[in-house]
Amino acid sequence: MSRLNDKVAIITDSGSGIDKEIAHSYANEGAKVVIADFNDESLRETVAEFQKEGLDAFGVQVNVASEDDIQRMVDDTWNRIIDINLTGVMRAMRKVIPHFVEQGGGTMVNMASISSLTGGRDDLAYTSCDTCSC
């Protein structure tokens, strides 16, 4: 198991240079990395590069001199986690269940990790998804 599995790292100015290398190291250790950079082109190229390597990354354009941008960066990061780990499961179930009703049945399997039984204080979005989707 990697040291940063299920952790989220927001790394500013990580579209290039040393901060990009730091983001790459975090991602290689299992972290979900947010490539936060003012330069939209650099952050998109970096995200694409990381994803091509199978790393979990997404980008947010941010001007760290702007408090509003900083708030949006954090909001976008946590909204993405909730959207993937919790809301995504719910949306899929809502779309499939009417077909089951129409056909008289069906089977849906939602996978969960041990977090659904043990909980966790560091990754509540992940834990709550596991709990509701069992």
SS3 per-residue string spanning the chain = CCCCCCCEEEEECCCCHHHHHHHHHHHHCCCEEEEEECCHHHHHHHHHHHHHCCCCEEEEECCCCCHHHHHHHHHHHHHHHHHHHHHHHHHHHHHHHHHHHHHCCCCCCCCCCCHHHHCCCCCHHHHHHHHHHC
Q: Would you call 126 a catalytic residue per the annotation?
A: yes
Q: Which of 15, 55, 125, 126 is catalytic?
A: 126
Q: 103 — phi, psi (to 5°)?
A: -90, -5
Least Cα distance to 32 among 70, 71, 59 occurs for: 59
Catalytic residue annotation: 126
